[in-house]
A and B are shown apart, each in its own frame.
Chain A
Amino acid sequence: MAMNAQGRPTRADAATAPGPTFTGNRALQIEESLIFEREFGGTGVDLPEPKAKDRLGSMKRQSPLNLPGLSEPEAMRHYVRLSQKNYAIDMGPFPLGSCTMKHNPRLNEKMARLPGFADIHPLQPQSTVQGALELVHELADWLLELTGMPAVAMSPKAGAHGELCGMMAIKAALDARGETGRTRVLAPESAHGTNPATAAQCGFSVDDIPADETGRVDLSALKAKLGPDVAAIMVTNPNTCGLFERDIRAIADAVHEAGGYFYCDGANFNAIAGKVRPGDLGVDAMHINLHKTFSTPHGGGGPGSGPVVLSAALAPFAPVPYVVKEEGRYQLVETRRAAREDGENMHGGRLTAFHGQMGMFVRALSYMLSHGGDGIRQAAEDAVLNANYVLARLKSEMTPAFPGHCMHEALFDDSFLKGTGVETIDFAKGMIDEGYHPMTMYFPLVVHGAMLIEPTESESKQELDLFCDALLSIARRANAGDASLKGAPYFAPRRRLDETAAARNPVLRWTPTASVRAAE
């Protein structure tokens, strides 16, 4: 046995692999029970017992909650152990196409927690929140400058909420024109699911726009579908195949000529921010996902923020509230009547109780001030460069869905896996064992077995080289008939989970069982 100077072994002797551990833990991977599967009755917050008798009378809660309270050390351990079962951008590349998982600067977190932003109430007197209104106004100015649009609605709470805001404005504008017969919305088959869902929520029917062989909107097919019943088109640009719609001006012109509006899904604005202004492309409305392009964190699924820029034609139909600057003072316009004299004919209404995602606004403005106009542009260029580098490095073993360069994300189909028995999902799960979060899989729907890789500007060349080498090795394993990929992942906190069983018999909450009773 190899020993060091203290006589301590420095190398393990060869041994057979052990069976399962007694605890079920595997070193740093620690099994963690639900908070409900322990003693009830405690609390981790020291609050005094109220002194006076309550005045709730018959409105007092009757039934017990049966919710456990954990001491601070127990709670910390619970959540830290849970956190260690998650993959995160701070651990490695998170190449989810269309989702834009870029670095989240911690300065932004620090700024959002300043008491002057985090500890102010949406309904306290406007004279006491002038700095907050200034921040909203300043962020709006940056968004207008970057998009080349004349107006922006700040209150939508996420991208899909922004879509709702924009499509509502379109509906209201059509109503104001007396064109209630425009009931159809056109969207490409490759669109995000939120596009048709939003159009339907606004009472429109949805019709597909076919794609051409290069993965873009088929202009002549689009023109054939336009007519006096079309309210709008919803087009993502760059699109969900990672390609810029090269006919974008002609598309906008055709829709406008037919009397409809152009809604642009801005989910991929990060590819062109600082380089191209959507206002120069004929856009009427576009939401901006602050949690994508401007890196307010995704937080495991939100909160997001989805301000919507609007053309002059749609600006009068923006929702309340919004901020205006008058004589050096910021004012929050909160009612329709105050907003417009002819408010009777205006829609717009209200989308949320308060003024939007202030916490996200602070983070986004912090990101913008840090990057500056030059940094925002460089970030877009690096995102496009990184995606094309991945495309170039992988195309020897994997099959790009479309010829040519891409924008900020590289799309592959599964034809390189044909005949191997390995499918896109197996490839993705194989990536987990290599230490990567999988790319977006099976989206967009127009590509068979789609794999959409968005590296973002946050990855170094060295990180990308290792990532590409790992993907090439998985592709080679698949082609060499390595069936083990069908069972991947092997090294994650859990093996593949049975989603069919979960949906067939939904268990959506913990309930007490015979073996685990809540202590009264």
Chain B
Amino acid sequence: MRYLPLSAEDRRAMLKTIGVRSIDDLFVDVPREALNAKIDLPRHRGELEVERLLGAMAAKNRPAGAGPFFVGAGAYRHHVPASVDHIIQRSEFLTSYTPYQPEIAQGTLQYLFEFQTQVAALLGMEVANASMYDGSTACAEAALMARRVTKRGRVVVSGGLHPHYAAVVRTNSELAGDTVSIRPLDVEGEEDLAAQIDANTSCVIVQNPDVFGNLRDFTPLAKSCAENGTLLIVVVTEAVSLGAVKSPGEMGADIAVGEGQSIGVPLNFGGPHVGLFATRQKYVRQMPGRLCGATVDAEGKRGFVLTLSTREQHIRRDKATSNICTNSGLCALAFTAHMTLLGEVGLRRMSLLSHEAACKAADALSSVPGVRLATPRFFNEFTLRLSANAAEIVEALASKGVLGGVPGGRLWPNDSEAEDLLIVAATECTTDADIADYAHALSEVL
């Protein structure tokens, strides 16, 4: 077995040193009837065989890059420079652990410090942590943090928040004993959230651009929240938007969370991705997750360490701010490396190119008979109202080689109002030919 270095001779010699006759003498504490249970699994295989088996499974899927692709709603296909994947496969990054021994983990710690700085700048906030699992769990953690800060027990969720995010918030907040008020789906972005705030409201959770693609300015809502002692949580599921669109901080968010996948991380069928989490400096001790901070070593040289760990489960146990341990370190590295390559200049271009492609797509698709653009002000994603069931149209488009977007029925299966909605995303990867192919196919199937 190519992964196991011990030889039969080694094993014999080692058993002798230990002073036992057989390996099962080391498993003496296992109940006899449970030891060496019969397990019905195939024997080991060589690389070639494994590649064949997994390659056959991979070949049954239709990759985004194989043709026109317009799927978004929380995960986006952007181009990632080749150097990013090389960097994250460096052994010293890939095969290292959480940097609990900082003297020999300055590489990881420094990129986390740089990551935190970039994330805080992008979201327009004062401090960011070293990543969460993904945007949806970051969002749920934000609601729990608002509960700790305000000592209140009611969460108000915008009808423009990605419904899967809303569901994750509900799972976690109800578990903590809070009530969660999820507003009805709001295609045009016209809901009055300020009217939903009461004296027990810990936070209002909104998304920009929202799940339908609407650009929404929450500055007035931030004022209403502040007057009531309620925290405003702004979610960003398309991190690339931050290169061109008003940031959560600019609107007055108290906590900003995001899905960072768009920068540096492939679609991966939904995971792993990387959660972004940022807030105001004054709330730092209520934050979940790991934080990297600057300090000095015994010779006075600058170095970095994990810090404020008295918030965390390995120190505080049942009093911790969160149970999170592992985060999304390597995806955070991909994010920060891609962001370092882009810089402000590159990110703005990538952002505006995505916006430009979406504008072209919206113009082309909304001129197809039976299609109406439901969200006139958008960044790189918009919602169409179709004259037919969108899920059926998406299947018909797929059979023509076009992945046309996310049908409303997929996200709101219990809401008939969503059946004719189609959420369409474009990025800098989208070509004029992709848009023309899509418009043509749509006119054929509609």
- Chain A neighbourhood of B199, CB < 8 A: none
Contact of B403 among A84, A125, A291, A365 (CB under 8 A): A125
Contact B313 A135 (CB under 8 A): no
Residues of chain B from 196 to 225 with CB closer than 8 A to chain A in the complex: 215, 217
Q: How far is the CA of A109 from the CA of B124 in the complex (A)?
A: 35
Contact A366 B97 (CB under 8 A): no
A256 within 8 A of B: no
Contact B345 A41 (CB under 8 A): yes
16 A-B pairs with CB atoms under 8 Å apart are A42-B345, A47-B349, A87-B101, A88-B94, A121-B64, A131-B58, A161-B137, A193-B325, A335-B414, A352-B164, A353-B259, A372-B41, A458-B4, A460-B10, A498-B295, A508-B307
Contact B313 A359 (CB under 8 A): no
Q: How far is the CA of A67 from the CA of B395 in the complex (A)?
A: 42
Contact of A59 among B110, B113, B215, B293 (CB under 8 A): B215
A233 within 8 A of B: no
A217 smallest CB distance to B (angstroms): 12
Residues of chain B from 39 to 96 with CB closer than 8 A to chain A in the complex: 39-45, 47, 49-51, 53-66, 69, 71, 73-75, 77, 81, 83, 85-96
Contact B344 A203 (CB under 8 A): no
Residues of chain B from 341 to 355 with CB closer than 8 A to chain A in the complex: 341-347, 349-350, 352-353, 355
Least CB separation from A461: chain B residue:
B10
Binds A, one of B331-339, B365-373, B435-443: B331-339
- Chain B neighbourhood of A460, CB < 8 A: 5-6, 10
B35 smallest CB distance to A (angstroms): 6
Contact B246 A494 (CB under 8 A): no
Q: How far is the CA of A354 from the CA of B102 in the complex (A)?
A: 34
Contact B5 A146 (CB under 8 A): no
Contact of B168 among A171, A351, A376 (CB under 8 A): A351
- Chain B neighbourhood of A403, CB < 8 A: none
Contact B355 A378 (CB under 8 A): no
Q: How far is the CA of A358 from the CA of B268 in the complex (A)?
A: 6
Contact A79 B341 (CB under 8 A): no
- Chain A neighbourhood of B111, CB < 8 A: 79, 82
Contact B65 A379 (CB under 8 A): no
Given A374-B43, A432-B101, A249 contacting B83 (CB threshold 8 A): no
A493 within 8 A of B: yes
- Chain A neighbourhood of B96, CB < 8 A: 86-89, 298-300
Contact B19 A369 (CB under 8 A): no
B97 smallest CB distance to A (angstroms): 5
Contact of A123 among B339, B346, B359, B406 (CB under 8 A): B406
B151 within 8 A of A: no
- Chain A neighbourhood of B165, CB < 8 A: 353
Q: How far is the CA of A489 from the CA of B101 in the complex (A)?
A: 11
Least CB separation from A301: chain B residue:
B329
A17 within 8 A of B: no
Contact A502 B307 (CB under 8 A): yes
Binds B, one of A219-227, A268-276, A415-423, A472-480: A268-276
Least CB separation from B168: chain A residue:
A350
A91 within 8 A of B: yes
Contact A145 B340 (CB under 8 A): no
Q: How far is the CA of A244 from the CA of B246 in the complex (A)?
A: 55
Least CB separation from A68: chain B residue:
B343
- Chain B neighbourhood of A182, CB < 8 A: none
Contact B59 A280 (CB under 8 A): no
Q: How far is the CA of A86 from the CA of B95 in the complex (A)?
A: 10
Binds A, one of B152-160, B226-234, B269-277: B269-277
- Chain B neighbourhood of A127, CB < 8 A: 395, 398
Q: How far is the CA of A198 from the CA of B220 in the complex (A)?
A: 37
A173 within 8 A of B: no
Given A63-B250, A358-B270, A123 contacting B107 (CB threshold 8 A): no
Q: How far is the CA of A436 from the CA of B332 in the complex (A)?
A: 26
Contact with B along A208-252 (1 / 0, CB 8 A): 000000000000000000000000000000000001111011000
B445 within 8 A of A: no
Contact A302 B3 (CB under 8 A): no
Contact of A122 among B49, B133, B267, B333 (CB under 8 A): B267
Contact with B along A467-498 (1 / 0, CB 8 A): 00000000000000000000101001111111
Given A146-B39, A201-B175, A291-B326, A103 contacting B34 (CB threshold 8 A): no
Contact B284 A508 (CB under 8 A): yes
Q: How far is the CA of A199 from the CA of B317 in the complex (A)?
A: 10
Residues of chain A from 115 to 147 with CB closer than 8 A to chain B in the complex: 115-125, 127-132, 134-135, 138, 142, 145-146
Contact A61 B4 (CB under 8 A): no
A414 within 8 A of B: no
Contact with A along B254-281 (1 / 0, CB 8 A): 0000010000001111111010000000
Contact with B along A65-81 (1 / 0, CB 8 A): 11111101001101110
B19 smallest CB distance to A (angstroms): 7
A509 within 8 A of B: yes
Given A159-B326, A379-B4, A70 contacting B71 (CB threshold 8 A): no
B1 within 8 A of A: yes
Contact of B323 among A194, A303, A356 (CB under 8 A): A194
Least CB separation from B111: chain A residue:
A82
B137 smallest CB distance to A (angstroms): 6
Output the residue of B58, B293, B319, B353 with the most chain A CB within 10 A. Answer: B58
A264 smallest CB distance to B (angstroms): 13
Least CB separation from A392: chain B residue:
B18
Contact B41 A376 (CB under 8 A): yes
Q: How far is the CA of A184 from the CA of B342 in the complex (A)?
A: 51
B364 within 8 A of A: no
Contact B413 A200 (CB under 8 A): no
Q: How far is the CA of A163 from the CA of B98 in the complex (A)?
A: 20
B416 within 8 A of A: no
Contact B267 A67 (CB under 8 A): no
- Chain A neighbourhood of B164, CB < 8 A: 350, 352-354
Given A117-B269, A197-B323, A200-B318, A509 contacting B128 (CB threshold 8 A): yes
